[in-house]
Amino acid sequence: MADAESTPPDRSHYSYTHYADRDVAEGFDALRFSGPIGELLARTQAELLTGALAPLAAKSILDVGTGTGRAALTLAAGGAHVLGLDASAEMVRVGARRASEARLAVHFGLADAHALPLANRAFDAAISLRVLMHATDWRRCLSELCRVARWRVIVDFPARASFAALESGGRRIAAAMGRRTEPYRVMAEADVRAAFASHGYRVIDVRRQFVLPIALHKKLASAAATTAIERSLAGVGLQRLLGSPVTMVAER
């Protein structure tokens, strides 16, 4: 079981209150994954996960901060045994419904990413997508992922050296002025690498997705245009320098 922590997470933090909202949960997939760019995001994410965790058949995989279960369902469809955990009952409810509709045997439950109610090395792998950027203590969450995984851990985060840093800064200013928003953090790859290393993991793969802001690509509304633009930017080295989000695969 997880070790007791002296300081519990702040449950008034937006990462709890925002996703506890029923309307947010019901609209999450449409907001994130609708349209040609949303579909491109989902497809790219699915390809990365299935490739990094292959072969999926019979592997036990924990999806922390599963949300509406998109990644969990993808992995289960490939034959993995998946448990999806989230702190939001509303998100879990939507995820369980989606699994039922897809006739996939994904198990869902409520749990906090900062203190997982699971034994050490209970799963072959653990994934956590779009969680570290919102968590009150991302290092603590990463520590828990490393603790419960036997083999690999996959996380993603918006890069500090990217256009996402401008949006993050704007949201933090807006939040300080009392506006309702998600003032997520941007993160340095070196910090995440160091955190993995402190738990005995080595990073074996790093993928960076977009140079230009996702919001701009969504306005273009063309997967073909986005792919061509980003390929050109990657060709001159900008994806390696400024690509975001960053997906990192680490192995024990």
* Rounded percentage of the chain residues whose pLDDT exceeds 90: 89
Grade residue 7 by pLDDT with cuts at 50, 70 and 90. confident
DSSP annotation of 184: P
Q: Region 15-30: what's the mean pLDDT?
A: 93
Asked whether the predicted pLDDT for residue 2 surpasses 50, the reply is no
Q: What is the CA radius of gyration of the chain?
A: 17
Query: For position 6, what pLDDT does the model report?
Result: 55
Grade residue 198 by pLDDT with cuts at 50, 70 and 90. very high
Grade residue 32 by pLDDT with cuts at 50, 70 and 90. confident
Query: For position 180, what pLDDT does the model report?
Result: 87
Grade residue 1 by pLDDT with cuts at 50, 70 and 90. very low
> What is the per-residue pLDDT across 158-169, written as a single tens digit (0 to 9) for each?
999 999 999 999
Residue with tokens 């699915």: 46
What mean pLDDT, rounded, does the chain reach?
Answer: 94
Contact 92, 108 (CB under 8 A): yes
Query: For position 247, what pLDDT does the model report?
Result: 97
Which residues are CB-neighbours of 133 under 8 A, at least 6 positions away?
157, 158, 184, 185, 186, 187
> What is the fold of 14-158+178-208+246-251?
Rossmann fold (3.40.50)
State both tokens at 25.
């949960």
Which residues are CB-neighbours of 186 under 8 A, at least 6 positions away?
133, 157, 158, 159, 160, 162, 164, 165, 168, 244
Which range among 2-11, 37-46, 64-73, 110-119 shows the weakest confidence by mean pLDDT? 2-11
Domain ranges for the chain, please list them.
Answer: 14-158+178-208+246-251
Strand order in the sheet with 123-128: 107-110, 81-86, 60-64, 123-128, 149-157, 244-251, 202-210
Asked whether the predicted pLDDT for residue 8 surpasses 90, the reply is no
Strands 107-110 and 123-128: unpaired
State both tokens at 198.
């402190």
Asked whether the predicted pLDDT for residue 39 surpasses 90, the reply is yes
Q: Region 208-230: what's the mean pLDDT?
A: 94
